[in-house]
Amino acid sequence: MTDNRFPPQRRLRSREDFAIFYADHLHAADEVLVLLARRNGRDVTRLGLSVSRKVGNAVERNRWKRRLREVFRQCQADLPPGLDLVIRPRKGAACDYHAIRRSLLPLVRRAARKLQHASK
CATH class of 8-118: alpha beta
For residue 73, what is the enclosing H or E element? helix 58-75
pLDDT for 40 beyond 70: yes
Q: What is the pTM of this model?
A: 0.83
Nearest to 91 by CA among 28, 26, 32: 32
Q: What is the reported pLDDT for 1?
A: 46
pLDDT for 98 beyond 60: yes
| Residue 68, amino acid | L
Question: Stretch 33-48: mean pLDDT, rounded?
Answer: 90
